[in-house]
Structure 1
Amino acid sequence: MTISRRPKEPAKLRRQILDAAASVAVARGLGEMTVEAVCLGAGVTKGGFFHHFPSKAALVTALFEDLIERFEAALAEAMAADPDPAGRFSRAYVRELTTPDSVGSDKLWVASAFAMLSDPGLRDRWGDWLAARVAAEGEAGRAGPAMARLAADGLWLADLCGSGATGDERAGLVRSMIAMTRRETE
């Protein structure tokens, strides 16, 4: 008797687990994301899960890393379309956080933002990534781009809390943030 086995596709299985974890985290929050729920969503056994992620904490870190990678790719695409190199990282950052249906507005950021509040490792990872990108783009120490990024973070948080600006007011705020990326100081 011959036993048929599926070909092993570890990258595909890992992606399934990450996608299932993202769905659970968005629906329930990271605190309520269980290994069982992720396994069920991914269609894998606990053994399959633990082969790829030694713990729930490792999964959360991998999920956060995956989100940063997707954000990075979206920023790179936006930056490639921007002919002005001065402040272009911050302009891309502002647009990603303020544009509906962009990677920066992904609901997984909500779960990740709350996880960063209680997880110093995630907080450090985000801070290190942002500082490295700001430095690499020559924006370190430039007040205008920094204010624009911080304002975009604030608008993102206000949107999350239901107190964000809408319509013409929002469009004006985003235009002002974009203009800040072109200034050294205010």
Structure 2
Amino acid sequence: MASRGNNISVRDALLNAAETVAANEGVARLTFDAVAAEAGVSKGGLLHHFTNKDQLIEAMVRRTAEGWRGYYMAALQSVPEGPGRLVRGLLKSCLTNAEQWTEDLRRSFSSVFAALAQNPALVEPMREAYVEFFQLVEADGLPDGLAEVLTTAIDGMWFYWVLRLRPVDQGALDRMRTNLEGILKQALEALAKESPAETTISERP
């Protein structure tokens, strides 16, 4: 997963502070006073960007959703076209480098979960990003719902880590990637036998 850069806007700094409060203390304690204190700004400075708590939470969730949308689209574009393109891109992007699984990203997704617990309607931007994601999954060209199975496995490992249900290190990522790549390779080879003119597997997924 790609982490955020160091040069951030005032708005992003405020959203970072809101995520920290939400992830550590829950959305119920996400007050403007708490966020302003975490960000090191005045309450008036915070009100300049966000007029109420719901607007702040929605912006926090929307930023996370946009980050996820940008990430999976970049993963898709990072590998050649053909069956299983999205899965190949996610295996390459998500399960290669454990250092990309940063605390900033854990905080971001944890705050989304906290927002969902407080008000399910506020998670709509994330739901929209996943609707678009699953449209790509359904169109990935793999048989028998295999793309959904493989992407769900990747997502499951990610959410276990976000919720601190299991640690993730490089060894865990390597094992997961090797097994999922093996399943994907078998599927691509079967497709190549069925439609050799349309399917190529010139590279490892």
1:132-151 alignment, distance < 5 Å = 132-136=132-136, 138-139=139-140, 143-151=145-153
What is the percent sequence identity of the aligned residues? 21
**Aligned counterparts of 1:111 and 1:95: Cα–Cα separation in 2:** 26
Pair 1:17–1:91, CA change in 2 (3 A): same
Q: Which residue in the other structure is 1:7 paired with?
A: none
In the TM superposition, what are the counterparts of 1:160-179 in structure 2 within 5 Å? 160-163=163-166, 170-179=173-182
161 and 103 in structure 1: CA distance in 2 versus 1, 3 angstrom threshold: closer
Equivalent residue number for residue 75 of structure 2: 78
Q: State the alpha-carbon separation in 1 of the partners of residues 59 and 109 from structure 2.
A: 14
After TM superposition, the structure 1 stretch with the greater mean CA deviation from structure 2, 93-102 or 42-51, is 93-102
- Tell me by how many angstroms 1:148 deviates: 1.3
Q: Which of 57-66 and 78-87 deviates more?
A: 78-87
Q: Could you report, residue by residue, the CA deviation over 1:76-104 in whole angstroms, capped at 9, with x for unpaired residues?
A: 33333212443333444456555534368
- Indicate conservation of the 8 Å contact 1:34/1:56, yes or no: yes
Q: Does 1:33 align with 2:22?
A: no
SS at match of 2:48: helix
Partner of 1:102: 100
TM-score by length of 1: 0.70
SS at match of 1:44: coil
Higher relative contact order (CA 8 A, sep 6+): 2
In 2, are the aligned partners of 1:14 and 1:52 still within 8 Å (CA)?
A: yes
Cα distance in 1 for partners of 2:102, 2:148 equals: 17
Instruction: Report the Cα offset of residue 156 of structure 1.
Output: 2.4
Q: Cα distance 1:178–1:35, how it changes in 2: closer, same or farther (>3 A)?
A: farther
Instruction: Return the offset for 1:155.
Output: 1.8
Structure 2: how far apart are the matches of 1:53 and 1:180?
47
Deviation at 1:35, TM superposition (A): 1.2
61-70 vs 112-121, which deviates more?
A: 112-121
What letter is aligned with 1:111? S
Rate the CA distance shift 1:103–1:63 in 2: closer, same or farther, 3 A: farther
Q: Distance in 1 between matches of 2:87 and 2:124?
A: 20
- Deviation of residue 59 (structure 1)? 0.9
Could you tell me which amino acid in structure 1 is paired with residue 50 of structure 2?
Answer: F
1:24–1:37 Cα contact (<8 Å) kept = yes
One-letter amino acid matched to 1:37 = A
Instruction: Summarize deviations over 1:123-159 as a string: whole Å, max 9, x none.
Output: 4432321122332572499611111122122222333
Letter in 2 for 1:17: L
Is the aligned partner of 1:54 residue 2:56? no
Mapped pair 1:87 → 2:90: no
Alpha-carbon distance in structure 1 between the residues aligned to 2:78 and 2:124:
30
Provide the rounded CA distance (Å) in 1 between the counterparts of 2:13 and 2:133. Answer: 29
**Structure 2 unmatched ranges of 5 or more:** 1-7, 189-205
RMSD: 3.5
Count of equivalent residues: 175
Number of the residue aligned with 1:6: none
In structure 2, the residue matched to 1:129 is 129
